[in-house]
Structure 1
Amino acid sequence: MKLFALLIAALLAAAAPAAADPTRDVPVPGSGQIVDLGVLTPRTALPRRVVVWLPSGYDPKGPPYAVLYMHDGQNLFDDKTAGYGHEWMVDETLDRLIREKKVRPTIVVGIWNTPKRLQDYVPAKAFARLPRAYMDRVRGLYGGDPLSDGYLKFIVDELRPAIARRFNVATDRDDTFVMGSSMGGLISLYAIDEYPAVFGGAGMLSTHWPLFLPQHEGDKLTEGEFKAVSGAFTAYLATGLADPRRHRLYFDHGTETLDAEYARYQQLVDRSVAAKGYIQGDNWLTVDYPGEAHNEQSWASRLEIPLRFLLRPKGVQPLGLKP
């Protein structure tokens, strides 16, 4: 299969909240337990299912747990609800790391995507900095204008208070995190930048910086396309990045399929991050994974790294994690 077909399949097919087994709407975890909150109807976003994963031995009356909000929630815990039949193995990996005391005790809020996934996840303020012709191209590919501000407002103003009322969780910034892949990486960065008082760390795996794809099979993104989109992001990040004294950022990408496009965009983003005052290996980590592709199997294979970087026990140094 040619690169163009792979790019289209990876980005556009992910827009639908497909499930490999339509009879199973709620994931069955391999470790810990799932609490299904059902299909919620937010005031500022489309209806979507939300589930909460609790680690083994969850104690409703003990010390409060950290909270990790994750996008594309149907892909996190169970092959049979995952859109491509492969889960991230968040439950198995995080449960093990908690037992090994390599991360703080944490619950995960898995937020399903919707048919408007692309609009939900594209950062509105970066989109607004695109040249008009590129804005029109993104609108055409994504189905309309960004809906990301409403989606984040749902998480912060509706979902987060509901989680705090029902579960034994800390509500401070230092114990509240967000993570996603591809377009979910974009919305995770946007979340910590727009709500720096809420989120203390963000994980961005295989972040889909290019926003759009070649118009014709066999084409590559042009230098003009690269400059237009990367320029929009660097302009937004110049003033939008969260304070490095109080936040952690994790980025990564592979080198195969859709990820093959990402390195030059990430390099520019890294310059913005460094210029803000983040220190690689301390409060910021960018990692290149040669041979890894744009899929759940690849993200599952390296999930331990961002979890340990973001969720390390309080008072513990970065544990020798290096780019």
Structure 2
Amino acid sequence: MKQSYFYLKMKEHKLKVPYTGKERRVRILLPKDYEKDTDRSYPVVYFHDGQNVFYSKESFIGYSWKIIPAIKRNPDISRMIVVAIDNDGMGRMNEYAAWKFQESPIPEQQFGGKGVEYAEFVMEVVKPFIDETYRTKADCQHTAMIGSSLGGNITQFIGLEYQDQIGCLGVFSSANWLHQEAFNRYIECQKLSPDQRIFIYVGTEEADDTDKTLMDGNIKQAYIDSSLCYYHDLIAGGVHLDNLVLKVQSGAIHSEIPWSENLPDCLRFFAEKW
């Protein structure tokens, strides 16, 4: 390891969410020597569920994406700016779903439909602020987005809706089975970019207690089928195979533990074209 790569700096901002009127925490991890090497600009990786990105003590399950160790232990990966956007707590399931989910046997579990507004917040408030405030490579090729579970759903949606601005997607354990038919109709109507690079990950033991309240049947298989369907749709839409990675990991559960383990490979895949 290169000891000189160990020192990173974090910034924090509060940005107003137009549709709630409330402020949202957005944290930025800057690469080493950012303030010294003032002539250099960097790719940007946006994460949803920002509370789970940096520190296990504030992560939902007590285990984070461990992005800082990933950067420190893999100095071969291009330096980047990491942007972590906090979720809205109880409003998370509404924001991360572009379509309403109304098929739950439990009325209280009906949610979704705020994904379009959240996408606009990310792309019309957060991204412009980051590009204006920091030395970013703001073009499509050097802009990436990563999300898991419902965060994977909204990553898929934003990645399609803003293909001209986002060149790399990391879709981990997408719960797209929640609105599979709506998403299928949506992606079939899109003209896909053949150059968008997409890393798709799913485990064979996905499912948590919340999932069991939302769907009857084999939820583990639903996660796998949803990822396979997305992969197939991307190929059918003309995305080059060289720009796609699909990893199905045997025995992996629905948590940040396997996601963090596979994060370096995802970042490395993005960086091949950086």
Which TM-score band (shorter chain)?
Answer: 0.7 to 0.9
Match of 2:154 in 1: 187
1:288 aligns with 2:264: no
CA change 1:180–1:141 in 2 (3 A) is: farther
Match of 1:57 in 2: 33
Match of 1:131 in 2: none
CA change 1:140–1:31 in 2 (3 A) is: farther
Question: Is the 8 Å Cα contact of residues 72 and 111 (structure 1) preserved in structure 2?
Answer: yes
Query: How far is the alpha carbon of 1:40 from its aligned partner?
Result: 2.5
Question: Is the 8 Å Cα contact of residues 192 and 234 (structure 2) preserved in structure 1?
Answer: no
Match of 2:3 in 1: none
Match of 1:175 in 2: 142
Match of 2:193 in 1: 243
| Partners of 2:11 and 2:51 in 1: CA distance | 13
Match of 2:214 in 1: none
Pairing partner for 1:303 from 245, 263, 269: 263
Question: Is the 8 Å Cα contact of residues 8 and 30 (structure 2) preserved in structure 1?
Answer: yes
Match of 1:265 in 2: 226
Which structure: greater strand fraction? 2
Q: Secondary structure at the match of 1:53?
A: strand
CA change 1:139–1:147 in 2 (3 A) is: farther
1:71 aligns with 2:48: yes
Aligned-pair identity in percent equals 26
Pairing partner for 1:109 from 83, 103, 107: 83
Paired amino acid for 2:38: K
CA change 1:142–1:197 in 2 (3 A) is: farther
Match of 2:64 in 1: 87
Query: How far is the alpha carbon of 1:57 from its aligned partner?
Result: 2.5
Q: Secondary structure at the match of 2:160?
A: helix
1:120 aligns with 2:80: no
Question: Is the 8 Å Cα contact of residues 31 and 91 (structure 1) preserved in structure 2?
Answer: no
Query: How far is the alpha carbon of 1:232 from its aligned partner?
Result: 2.5
Query: How far is the alpha carbon of 1:140 from its aligned partner?
Result: 4.2
Query: How far is the alpha carbon of 1:95 from its aligned partner?
Result: 3.8
Q: Deviations over 1:37-60 (max 9, x none)?
A: 1x3222135532110011222246
Q: Secondary structure at the match of 1:254?
A: strand
| Partners of 1:242 and 1:253 in 2: CA distance | 22
> Alignment length, in residue pairs?
254
| Partners of 2:168 and 2:191 in 1: CA distance | 12
| Partners of 1:53 and 1:142 in 2: CA distance | 35
Query: How far is the alpha carbon of 1:313 from its aligned partner?
Result: 4.8
Q: Any unmatched runs of 5+ in structure 2?
A: 1-5, 208-218
Q: State which drifts further: 158-167 or 172-181.
A: 158-167
Query: How far is the alpha carbon of 1:144 from its aligned partner?
Result: 4.1
| Partners of 1:192 and 1:257 in 2: CA distance | 23
1:34 aligns with 2:34: no
Question: Is the 8 Å Cα contact of residues 119 and 142 (structure 1) preserved in structure 2?
Answer: no
Q: State which drifts further: 63-72 or 266-275.
A: 266-275
Q: Secondary structure at the match of 1:110?
A: strand
CA change 1:248–1:299 in 2 (3 A) is: same
Query: How far is the alpha carbon of 1:185 from its aligned partner?
Result: 0.5
Q: Which runs of 4+ in 1 moved over 6 A?
A: none
Pairing partner for 2:173 from 206, 214, 217: 206
Q: CA RMSD in A?
A: 2.2
| Partners of 1:206 and 1:163 in 2: CA distance | 27
Query: How far is the alpha carbon of 1:165 from its aligned partner?
Result: 1.9
| Partners of 1:160 and 1:138 in 2: CA distance | 38
Q: Secondary structure at the match of 2:56?
A: coil
Match of 2:203 in 1: 254
1:278 aligns with 2:239: yes
Q: Secondary structure at the match of 2:113?
A: coil
Q: Secondary structure at the match of 1:231?
A: helix
Question: Is the 8 Å Cα contact of residues 93 and 111 (structure 2) preserved in structure 1?
Answer: no
Match of 2:216 in 1: none
| Partners of 1:238 and 1:53 in 2: CA distance | 36
